[in-house]
Amino acid sequence: MTTDEYLATPETLLPRELAFGTLRVADAPLVPHQKAVGRLFLALHRHLEAHPIGEVWLSPLDVVLDADRALVVQPDLLVVLHERRAIVQDRIYGAPDLMIEVLSPHPRVGRVHDRLEWFARGGVRECWLLHLCDDVLEIVRFEHGGVADRVRFDAAQRIESRVLPGFDLTLDDILGPDLF
């Protein structure tokens, strides 16, 4: 399937992506996953209201990372800073500054390693991986088309993001005690 064919398909709320011409469709996520996504969205939205440097978006939303290679992804959340807002159109055309993936025990669409490689090559600056089972947030920072570093934050550590200056919350602050 080409990117144009994918973009011409009917709108759906089911998670789906186009990985180098192959359409991938997944079942809807489970409650803990959606709770985590919702709480992360609220925390990021509040931060970006207090520090108006960009906007946070919630999945499902297509991110056309590479139209020529038919690569369209739908991360759980993404942030586009104002200086790059031109990529926000009817979909996102280009690399967001930050992509966030909430990882469940059984990945729904694709492998994390592959996705990180796509994000790096596509020009994403940072990816947050929330490991729900371990109560850990891993921040993967990209430079020059590859992984620059990976930093893990346990539930009580303050999360430090290069994309979101001043972000000063912990996973405990964001997710609360009743996620499951």
pLDDT in 10s for each residue of the chain, 180 residues: 999 999 999 888 778 889 999 898 887 888 889 999 999 999 999 999 999 999 999 998 999 999 999 999 999 999 999 999 999 999 999 999 999 999 976 655 668 889 999 999 999 999 999 999 899 999 999 999 999 999 999 999 999 999 999 999 999 999 987 765
Query: For residues 102 and 50, what is the distance between their CA atoms, to the nearest angstrom?
Result: 24
CATH number for the domain harbouring residue 51 = 3.90.1570.10
**Total tally of structural domains belonging to the chain:** 1
Is 62 a domain residue?
yes
SS3 72: strand
Query: For residues 148 and 142, what is the distance between their CA atoms, to the nearest angstrom?
Result: 5
Which amino acid appears at position 68 of this protein? D
- How remote is the C-alpha of 36 from its chain's centroid? 13
Is 180 a domain residue?
no
Query: For residues 29 and 33, what is the distance between their CA atoms, to the nearest angstrom?
Result: 6
Range of the domain at 66: 3-175
Q: Which helix (H) or strand (E) holds 141?
A: strand 136-143
> pTM score, two decimals?
0.92
Rg of the chain on CA atoms, in Å: 16
